[in-house]
Amino acid sequence: MSTPSPGRTSCDPSLPSKASDITVVRIELMAVRLPLRRSFATSSHRKDHLDHILVRLTDREGAQGWGECASPSHPYYGPETFSSCWNALKDYFAPLLIGERWDHPEELEAVWMRIRGNLFARAALDTACWDLYAQRRNRSLASALGGSAEQVEVGVSLGIEESISELLDQVDDHVGQGYRRIKLKIAPGWDVAPVAAVRERFPDTPLQVDANAAYSSTVDHRRVMRALDGMALQMIEQPFAADDLLAHAELQRELRTPVCLDESITSASTAHTALGLGAAKIINIKVSRLGGLTEARRVHDLCTRSGIPVWCGGMHEFGVGRAANLALATLPGFTLPGDISGSDRYFTADVLASPITATRGRVSVPSAPGLGVTIDRDAVRTHLLEKISVAQ
Ligand code: OSB
Ligand code: MG
């Protein structure tokens, strides 16, 4: 036992315990580029490498927390870009966090309250604060969030391929690896035929589709949705524009297949509105899209109270963001397999000393304090594009 230092109320047992009492004194932003093992195409574009921002916080005691900004480079999934996130972190989020004293990461909402949007940027710092907090409490991030699962069931998200036979090979490969379900990206022109071909070859595999808002509520597109409705899918994810909740509600009334919302759900309030309108029967919870773990957990709690199953979505995270997703997915409402496949599916070299791996469709949750992963400093250095530091 160390002797309590004078003036540190947290060490005086006669006073209410202030177990954390954290002040961040340095924030480093690292732009890191990882090549993708295999290029990935969605309804909007194709990519062969990813530029994400890793953030490292250091507090007054020298403890550190890590987070990842997994924003796509271009504004095709949502409004943010790599550059918008870099600027928002450097000019707004980081300066407000530096020097601020806090006990729990939920208090940071008040610190950042004036900043609108920029949720992918915010998520990086929110996650780093949760990591730091959990480490200071000597608890795993999963347990700090209230989760207890030791393993999480996962599936894969497969991009748009050049041909149906290449898609069938991809599905075959991942079903063989034991992934719990297969998600197929769809877009007008790549929907009924490829999905029907997969369903025919794999009649019993849990299958779902994700349109990334590529459809509109026209007669032609609704015909596509009705055709998909006959293919025993687990869900149809985000067919229409993010802000068109009524179109999703109308579609959900026409289909037996559950509609799942991704891009539409940017807060617990939008989730509340969407559920009130009947716009979805399932919600995809993404740490990045919701601005971090605090809001992601709030959406989980709301859905659980409303009897709506949720699953953890992904943004092709490197190991840091992947570990945060994994911790969140240990909460009890995550009853459907998440998009948290092993790092090796995406990258030849991740930024972790031991990458996250899936075995027969399950990923083990680290039990070490915080995110519970070790960053490979050499890998970060090798793939570093740019680094800046914000200090007190
Ligand atoms: O819509 O879920 C999505 C990847 C990038 C952007 C959006 C999405 C996705 C995925 C892949 O579907 C999820 C993953 O494997 O990380
Ligand atoms: Mg999606």
pLDDT band at 20; cut points 50, 70, 90: low
Q: What CA–CA distance (Å, rounded) separates 336 from 236?
A: 14
Q: What CA–CA distance (Å, rounded) separates 135 from 372?
A: 9
Cβ contacts of 32 within 8 Å, gap of 6 or more: 51, 52, 53, 54, 318, 351, 380, 383, 384, 385
Q: How far are the Cα atoms of 14, 164, 285 from residue 267, in angstroms, in the given order?
A: 40, 36, 10
Q: What CA–CA distance (Å, rounded) separates 287 from 382?
A: 27
Q: Which domains does the chain have, with CATH numbers?
A: 22-138+378-391 (3.30.390.10), 144-376 (3.20.20.120)
- Give the pLDDT score at 4: 36
Q: pTM (2 decimals)?
A: 0.93
**179, 183, 184, 186: CA torsion to nearest 10:** -170
Cβ contacts of 234 within 8 Å, gap of 6 or more: 181, 206, 207, 208, 257, 258, 336
pLDDT band at 247; cut points 50, 70, 90: very high
pLDDT of 13 > 50? The answer is no
Eight-class DSSP state of 62: S
- Taking each continuous run of H as one helix and of E as one strand, the counts in the chain are 13, 15
pLDDT band at 1; cut points 50, 70, 90: very low
Indicate the residue type of 166: E
Nearest ligand to the CA of 44 is 1
Is the CB of 338 within 6 Å of ligand 1?
Answer: no
**Percent of the chain, pLDDT > 70?**
95
- Give the pLDDT score at 333: 97
- Give the pLDDT score at 218: 85
Residue 69: exposure state from Cβ atoms within 10 A (0-12, 13-18, ≥19): buried
* The two three-digit tokens of residue 158, written as one number: 């497969």
- Cite the active site residues: 185, 286
Nearest ligand to the CA of 185 is 1
Mutation probe of ligand 1 site: the residue of 71, 316, 317, 363 with most atoms within 8 A of C-beta: 316
pLDDT tens-place string over residues 165-198: 999 999 999 999 999 999 999 999 999 999 999 9
Measured in Å, residue 286 CA sits from the centre of ligand 1 at 10
pLDDT tens-place string over residues 281-326: 999 999 999 999 999 999 999 999 999 999 999 999 999 999 999 9
Is the CB of 77 within 6 Å of ligand 1?
Answer: yes
